[in-house]
Structure 1
């Protein structure tokens, strides 16, 4: 059954959080498509869990905006519109801009530690770019931005951004969007890294804005 393709059986007694984590990943990978109904019975059977933890997991994902519940109909994967994409990326811009300021104010030690993580992610991008592996590239793309925000150590900022990251991957993968500017994607991330490493606050803020607003243009143009 298509509703459970790609799910892994969870050993023991899976908690709602474990179920939510797995379902979230399947949603952003496109296993569950936009507008598709989540078959509770099939998913519970596949994961060998009861309806209680599953429903709690579905409620969590609904609160994150990845699922939507229709009364007397069931739970469905959210369908993203162009307005949704614009909202997601506008909030990402605000959060990443705030993260840039926090990192710049945190001192060289935290900046260096964050840059070291980002350098590794950029190195890892080379293979999926060469292979045109969009899922792997989308995962690394978001890993870069998550790591950037995580570098601040601000737990609330990180929690907000994790939801935005999941929605962003839905924009890229579930809407069947490939990267139209794949040739410059790695360079854009390298530019962000270089500006952070150089301590160029203004340049980094401008680069974040350009990077995310260009992404919106690419995504909405493809959707149109």
Structure 2
């Protein structure tokens, strides 16, 4: 019987307890998650020695490989004589990311609506019910977490692995900004009004409506971020 793969996220304690060196992909996942959560901020240098102290079984060659691969994903910048740092994104970068999300997540919503996946659609409705329960509150952390689950489930429901890969790259650098938009009850309610319409269209198999509504929802998100004049650098 083949050995089971441990899919839990890498932590400093788990890394120290392992005898074998971490794979480059595991180091990538560790760095990527910290960029996503804002622990590593745009412009921050990613020093190989510091990463190795946090991940004791990560070798220098694996850390270097992880940074180079993250650079190819557009999350890290590597400069001669300065090394690696978290990439800074401009407002134009943000606009382009959102326009790409409009197309890709719109397609994902349409494909999910057209798919015969009743169990996943029931899960989507369950998440929507939880989102509805947070309206008129300021529980922005829980809303942000459920919002992420909602989007991920729609991407999963599309059954398109390429859409999933592309959107993962797009959503990581803007995750921190997405959370910032949910700081008030009014913004939570406005965002969830779009969620409800999209969920209803998907559950009832209205693919064309699902795509249109998802595009509108993401466009409204970009408009909200632009109005907030956030410091994205």
TM-score range, shorter chain: 0.7 to 0.9
**Residue 29 of structure 1 aligns with which residue?**
37
Aligned mate of 1:93, from 102, 114, 124: 102
Query: Where in structure 2 are the equivalents of 1:161-172 lying within 5 Å?
Result: 161-172=167-178
* 3-state SS of paired residue (1:151): helix
**Residue 80 of structure 1 aligns with which residue?**
89
Contact 2:110 2:202 survives alignment (8 Å): no
Contact 1:96 1:208 survives alignment (8 Å): yes
Contact 1:82 1:223 survives alignment (8 Å): no
**Residue 8 of structure 2 aligns with which residue?**
none
**Structure 2 gap segments, 5+ residues each:** 1-10
Matched, 1:45 2:48: no
User: Higher helix proportion, which one?
Assistant: 1
Contact 1:85 1:171 survives alignment (8 Å): no
**Residue 8 of structure 1 aligns with which residue?**
12
**Residue 193 of structure 1 aligns with which residue?**
199
Q: Which range moved further: 7-16 or 188-197? A: 7-16
Aligned mate of 1:207, from 213, 218, 229: 213
The number of residues matched between the two structures is 212
* 3-state SS of paired residue (1:157): helix
**Residue 149 of structure 1 aligns with which residue?**
155
CA 1:60/1:130 → structure 2, altered by over 3 Å: closer, same or farther?
farther
Deviations 1:10-56 (A, max 9, x none): 24222111111121111111111111111211111111121111112
Contact 1:89 1:212 survives alignment (8 Å): yes
Give distance in 2, aligned partners of 1:197 and 1:215: 23
Which one has a bigger Cα radius of gyration?
2
TM-score (norm 2): 0.80
